[in-house]
A and B are shown apart, each in its own frame.
Chain A
């Protein structure tokens, strides 16, 4: 029914970022405006593709860009 939206492969975080900027559906172009010094930013999520339902259930999210299991991403560990 909606085969093209699924991301079946694990993707590389950098590639996701690039895909996010290139997404023609993205309403906020560019996703990350020129940052100002001393301001904290949270980039606005732009849906690109989603996991198939079963994969999403096991991952705890249907969004590949939010699938960051604790301990696997060294950058994520730095915040702890």
Chain B
């Protein structure tokens, strides 16, 4: 796999994991302002990284990614390849 593509995908997964873990923390600490700010920052970061990835390597997700014509989702390689 393209080295940059792999690095980007790993960073997206890491940012998304951080968001999930902060979600869980906030379920029991709903007034933790710092955790909410951190989560907001990581959501921005995830969106930014996804845009960067999709501009260069195509859609990550068949449901939520914009496509140009022809339909990009079936174009190889898949995000997990």
Is chain B a partner of chain A in the same complex?
yes
Complex Cα–Cα for A27 and B32 (A) = 9
In the A-B complex, the 4 residue pairs with the smallest Cβ-Cβ separation, listed nearest first, are: A53-B14, A57-B14, A62-B21, A54-B14
Q: How many residue pairs bridge A and B at CB < 8 Å?
A: 44
Q: Mark A26-58, 1 if CB is under 8 A from B, else 0.
A: 010000000000000000010100100110110
Tell me whether A56 and B14 are in contact (CB under 8 A).
yes
Grouping DSSP codes into helix (H, G, I), strand (E, B) and loop, the B interface class, with mixed when no group exceeds half, is helix
Q: Which B residues contact A (CB, under 8 angstroms)?
A: 10-11, 13-15, 17-18, 21-22, 25, 28-29, 31-32, 34-35, 38, 41-42, 45
Sort chain A's interface into a size bin: 10 to 19
